[in-house]
Structures are given as structure tokens and as C-alpha cells.
Structure 1
Amino acid sequence: MRGARQRSQELGQRHVHRASHGSLATPALTAQTVSPDELPCSGRSVRRLAARPTAWFGGGTQAAGRGKKPFMLQCVYIIVCFTPIILAAQMPVTSPTTSDTQYLSLTSFVAKYFKLLLVSAIVGALVAVGISFVQHPRWTAKMTVQIGQVAGADSVVPGVGAAPTNLIESQLTAVERYGLSSFKFDVLKAMGLPLPNTQNPDSDLIFDSLRAAPSKSLDLINVQASGYSPEKAAQTLRAAFSELRKEHDKAFIPTIERMKAELKDTSDRLVAMQKEYDSAYGSLKQASNQAKGQPAAHDVFLANVVATISVESRSLNLRKAQLEEALASLRTYPTRVLGDVYVADRPSTPGKLLYSAGGAFIGLIAGILIALFWNLRRR
């Protein structure tokens, strides 16, 4: 038994010698297995990622619910996080004691290039903090606009329910209007600013940040814009609303004036018809008193006139009530702002802590790539 064991050891040494000098050996034969615990995320996280691939790539019912990330962002995140780790864990190096080709584990990689990784992370954080001092802070202003509406007088039933109304402009059309370049140019002109791309940072920021989005209610839109000061951001939204109101008033004011003119004409006709009714009714009453119960042809004519005037009067009164109901502020109103412009006390740009964390992460990735390049050069 002892002699057989010695012969097997000799054969193993010969195989190692041939592997180190021959061309038949491959690194896969002598590779060391890297356990999931050696990765930056735990083995439980790796198993969870492998068990739910659809949740990372936008598939499945779980990803379709709360906060699904964009597909390309997930791919970039996985590639950036896992590619350097896998390369570092499988980088072949030569053992200092033997001539065997082995794979560098993650722990030995970090231990070997710890100073480089630490310095690169610190440098990245310092550079990011320096950028945060150079970059101007921005404030974001928000506002909710209610699109004006006009009630149809023909479909109004006074005192019965709500009448159907017509929006001055549809919700999606108003949202698209805020995205038009011509609309943004008018806003800049109203603010006394030059057009974008003219070396004016305020114009460029306002042109890029002014946007609107539809709200849950079909007559509301949410508008926001950014500025290098809270006052400039709020001024931008007010100027944009003035331009929107100006466009909507082109359709709203003529309609309201036409309805008011019809209401005035109806009221004047009612006054004239009431006078005519009073005159005819008075004549009819006087003639009936004189005739002493003997109706004449003239009396019949006056009775028909009084009945006709009464019917027309009821029709005009109904039309007047319809117009007054349609012109009520609850049913007909111009485009207006709900509440006031809101600007947060703190700027919307990231803080120095977030800048430093992002810079440290980018610097760490750069350090890993440099270490991998050095490792390849030494081979």
C-alpha cells in the first residue's frame, strides 16, 4: 500500500511538471473555485438574483408593479457591478512558490491592490466634491393649472344636476403646448431673456426644464420649471401660465361675450314683451268690463294676443335662466392656477454627500480597471 501511494505521488508530480512546461494543460484544470460568499454581495443575494431574473429585466408581474427600473439601466448596472468582480476573481496569475497557473481570488486581489483602490476612491470623491462647488445650485418650481371650461347653454336645465361642459383645450393638447419650442420662445421673450444657445445659462436652463404632465383629473396639468434661484423658477412658471392663458382667452373671451350678448338681448325682449302683455291684458280687462258679459270679436283677438305673449314670455324666461346658469362661475371659468407656485427651500441638485458617494464609486470602478490592466501587463 505504501509503495502504491508513493508511485501515485510521483505520477502527480510528473503531471504537474508537464503542465507547467507543456501545452496540453489548461488553466481550467487547475482553477480554484470562487464561492459566492467571496463576492461583494452575499451568496443569498446571488441565489435570489438567479432565481428571479425576470424581476431585473422588466418581466413578470412583480416587476410590472412597483417601481420597475428601465431595462437599459438594469443592464448597465449589472455589467458595471459584476464584470470587474468576475474578471478579478478569474484573473490567472503565477504562484510565487510553484510554477502552476492559478486563478486570483477576490480577497487576494483586494489585498494586493488595496492601496490603489483606496486612493482611487478618495480621489474620485474629492473630484466630485470639487465639481459640486463649481456647479450652480438649481431650484425646481411646481404648479397645477386647471384648464378653463364653458358650459353649453342649450343643454342646461336650471336647478337640475350638472350641465355638460366643454374644455377650452384638451388636457393632452395643453401638455404638448408646453413642450413646443415656439411656446418656450414666447416665455423667454416675456421674461426679457434671449433665445437659448446664446451663452445665457438662464435661457438654456428654462428652455430645457419647462415641461408639463397630465394629472389624474382630466382638466388639470402639472407644470414645473427650474432656475438658478427660487425667484427665477417661480417667475418662469408665472410667465408660462400667462402665455397659456393668453392662448386660451382667444377662444374663451369671444364665447363668453357672445353668451352675454344673447343674455342681454333676451332680457330686453322680456322687458318689451312684458310691457306688451300688460297693455293687452289691461285693454282686454277694460273691454270685458264695458261689455258686461257679452264678448266681442275684438275681445277674442286680445285674448289670443295675451295667450301668445304668455307662451313666448315663458320661453324667453327659460332661455334667460339657461344662459345665466351657463355663465355661472361654477360651470364656466377661464384657465386658472390651483393654489400658488411651490418652490422648495432646498435646491433640487444633489448635495455634496451624494456627489462624494458617486465620485467614490466611480473612482473605485476606475481603480479596479487600472488594477486589472496592470495585472494583464505583468503576465
Structure 2
Amino acid sequence: MQLTDLAGSLKRHWPVVAVAAVVGLILGVLVSFALPSRYEATASVSVNPMNADPLGASADAARSVSMPTEVSTATSAKVAAAAAKTLADDYSLSAKDVREATHVESPEDSLILDIRFSGGSPEEAADGAEAVADAYLAERQADAQAEITRLTSATQQQIADVQATSVAPEFGGAIAQRTLQLQADALGTRLATLGSIDTTPGQVVGSPEVPRQPSTPGALPLGLAGLFLGLLAGIPLALTKKEENSEIGGVDGLQAIGDQIVLDGTKDTNRADTWDIAAFMLKIPTDIGIEDPFLIMVDAEDQHGRSITPGQELVDALSRRGRSARFVDAGAINEGKISRGWPTDKKRVSWAGEIIIIDTTHLTSDANKVALATRSDSVLLARSTTDDSAALRRLAGLLRSKNVDIALTALFPPRPELMTINR
């Protein structure tokens, strides 16, 4: 299938795409009203490295902190439970609710945690972010203090063991005593160092602000998203929609369009024969007079590559019957001029006493075709069996709305080899 075929299918079935887009738009707007509003607030926490060496380099201290581990701690069940307990007086949030509403990130190469909390109200979002930040700092400090207590207890036990060993008879020698003294000094230094560790876990450097706008998308973005999804769904539907056969088909197809006189030329081997009969069937006055012309509008479905128009074919048929007629191609007339009342009275006077065949095949506007029909004395429609019945039905309906009678509808076969004319 070529791109032109796809474009043609979309053009024919554009209502399918339009309906799908409108449905998507409406659903998107409805979803925006159905979704509960959510608000987000963020607390920024500076993580303090807990260095066992107060005189150590700050770079070493920074490297002692694993930020992925801190992110896991901030989103842990223990922190969520502590935050939920803090929020219990004002909000009915469980530890699971708090954990699901918390999202923590750490900017690259930094000791900052951004704790984002999603709440059902602006105040809940801000209070939740603050509660999680405080619970994280408290948990981190408690863990650090517990580790220092454990290390201090272990060091004190080691010092007691060294002291007990130093009074044993088997360690009474000078070298043994010197070794035990060095161990005791090292353990004493370690004990002093443990007592100097800063257990401050960090601090909140960015307090959460009460959000003014919800974080959930509103009616406009969801509506546009629904519109876009509707288009995505509608285009394939339009492309795969089964093509309905809108061809006229035969005489029955013409009669189904409306009550009209039909000349069936589908069995004729020469179009000229059909046009000769059409010229005979048209009620053209024998004596036209010298004051007015007799106007016959001839319309057919425009077909590219056609060497002669139906209007010219009718002129030739009248000529074979001894009637002279003037051919006028309405497609060569400015359509704005037609809509303003062409042919004018002056033009009609110049045609006085003549049979004028106005061919509207190349006109693009059905409205202008109907306008010319109301200014004509007779209307003849020429169609082939493969022409569009929907387009013909539309034109016939417009003509009926203006009380214009179709004098004759001539039906021709579609085969090119039967479209020759004997002159």
C-alpha cells in the first residue's frame, strides 16, 4: 500500500479519527476529575559523616558515607514506622502508606538527601516530608550511638583482659610487661577516640514548603493526552476500516438515489448512440425565439485524462440531429463569478436564440452547480457505473432542495474501450 492510498483512506474515513480523538479528549478530562489530587513536598537533608578520627581529613570522612545506603535507610520500614507515629495525631497514615508515599534521591557527588513525600493535601505533603526527614536523622543517630556503645564496651573488655594478664606470673618479665603496656596504651587511645566521635547524624538544610499546586496532572494535560491517544487509536481504525462500495453499479443504483428518468447506456457499444438518444429525449423547444437562450446544464463526475467532456458529447449529438448548440465549459469560469450570478442578463442576451450547453463537470463546488441549475432550463446528469453514488446522492438532494428537476440521467459503462465517439 502506497502513501497516497493511506492518505486517501484517512481522508475518506476522517470521521472515525475525529470521533476517536473526541472520545479520547473526553475520557482524559473525566479521568482528571476522577483521580484524587496529590501534592508533593521535599525536605533536603545534609548527611554528616561520623568520623572516628576528629583530626582526620574531611575527604576521608566524606568517603566513609555510602549515599545509596543512606537512601535505603531513609526509605526503610523502621523510618516509615517512626514517621507514621509522628503523623498519627493529624493524619491516618500507616507505616505502609508513609513508605509508599516517600521517594528519596541523592544528587551525584553530594552528601544531600532529597526526601520527597506525596500527600493528599498540601499540609500532609509538607508534614510528611518533615516527619520522614526527622525520623531518618533520629534512626541514623540511634544506629551510630549503638555502634559506638558496642565498640566502647568491647574496648573496655579488652583493657580489662590486658590488666588481668599483666599480673599473671608467666607475664612478669620485662619484655612481656612492655608488650602489655603498649597494648593497654593503644586500647586507651582507642577508647578516648570513641568518646570523641561526633554522632550528629546531619541536619535539615531545606525545610519542606507547603505546595500550592497539585502534582497530579489536571484536566488540560490529561485531556490533551487523551486526544493524542485517541488519534493514535483512530488512525489505525480508519486505515483498517472496511471500504464500503459506493459505486453506482447499475440502473437500480440510480433509481435508489431518487425518482428520475434514467437512460441506460451500459449496453451500448458506442457512447455516441447513448448521447443520440439523450438528445432525442431532452425536451428542447423547436423554436427558441430571439429573446432568450435555452440553457442545458450537463454534469458528470470529473475524470482525469478524459479527452472530451459530456457537454461536448451532447453538442455533437444535437448536431447530428440538425440542432446547433454552443458549448460553454463552466470550469473555465471563475467560481466566485458564478456564485455572484453568472450568467448575467447581458450574457444571456448575447446568447439569445441559441441552445447553450453549460458543462459543470470541472466545477469543484456543488453549491455553484446547483446555482447554475437554478438558472438553466434543463438539467442532464451523466454518470458511469463506477462513479460515486454518495456524491451523486448529495448533488441530487441539493437540486431537490432548490426545486430543480433533473430532466434526464444517462448511465454509461466504465470500460474505456466503450468511450469512443463516432462523429
Q: TM-score scaled to structure 1, two decimals?
A: 0.45
Q: Which structure dedicates a bigger proportion of its chain to helix?
A: 1
Q: TM-score scaled to structure 2, two decimals?
A: 0.41
Larger Rg: 2
